[in-house]
Chain A
Amino acid sequence: DTEVTQTPKHLVMGMTNKKSLKCEQHMGHRAMYWYKQKAKKPPELMFVYSYEKLSINESVPSRFSPECPNSSLLNLHLHALQPEDSALYLCASSPGQGLVEQYFGPGTRLTVT
């Protein structure tokens, strides 16, 4: 199984809502990543988890809260988002942190109203 799955595919939320994005991989990878991608732009790294511990936080606002419950799962908790947070949120994994071949999920298309 070389797939990274993400749920939901689409999410619309208001600025006062709390929601969570989920990511799962069963490749035994020990590094997992959250990226944010705006339309026609490259993915921008948000967080990196290595061996279930937060390794990199790219100065992401606290309204985004990552969680890695186990080696296969990665969550992104969302609270009090702004309309400018609307984007495609991509999850990726790799066998170890920093390896060049990362496996990406299809993303969650988030719209904040």
Chain B
Amino acid sequence: GESVGLHLPTLSVQEGDNSIINCAYSNSASDYFIWYKQESGKGPQFIIDIRSNMDKRQGQRVTVLLNKTVKHLSLQIAATQPGDSAVYFCALRSPGQLTFGSGTQLTVLP
């Protein structure tokens, strides 16, 4: 089966610094890689995705990098804000569904 893991379960960053959240995966057949954010008491919220034929995609304050050679995905958040505190999940798309990784808790320190 698929395996989606994250390098660190928790990450603390100072407000204003950049955050980098990493994800390793094993299924090379996935055509899309996605990041979701889950704040306390809420359901996951889509942040950004990247197709498997790309290696970088930028959004508003976020950048996703995909390295298919080492099967690694990362989410970079620029100028991290208190509202970025949440659990971040990477996810892979397989036919008809998403498989979520184990999550990283991001804490933004004042």
Residues of A within 8 A of B (CB): 4, 33, 40-45, 48, 50, 55-56, 90, 92, 97-98, 100-107
The closest CB in chain A to the CB of B41 belongs to A106
Choose one: B4, B41, B46; the contact of A102 (CB below 8 Å): B46
Distance in angstroms from A85 CB to nearest chain B CB is: 19
- Asked whether any CB of chain A lies closer than 8 Å to the CB of B3, the reply is no
C-alpha gap A50/B97 in the complex (Å): 11
- Asked whether any CB of chain A lies closer than 8 Å to the CB of B58, the reply is no
| Known contacts A41-B103, A101-B34, then 15 further A-B pairs from the complex at CB < 8 Å, ordered by chain A residue | A4-B43, A40-B103, A42-B100, A42-B101, A43-B100, A45-B97, A55-B96, A90-B43, A98-B93, A100-B49, A103-B46, A105-B43, A106-B41, A106-B43, A107-B42
Distance in angstroms from A14 CB to nearest chain B CB is: 25
Interface 1/0 per residue, B79-108 and A, CB below 8 Å:
000000000010101011111111100000
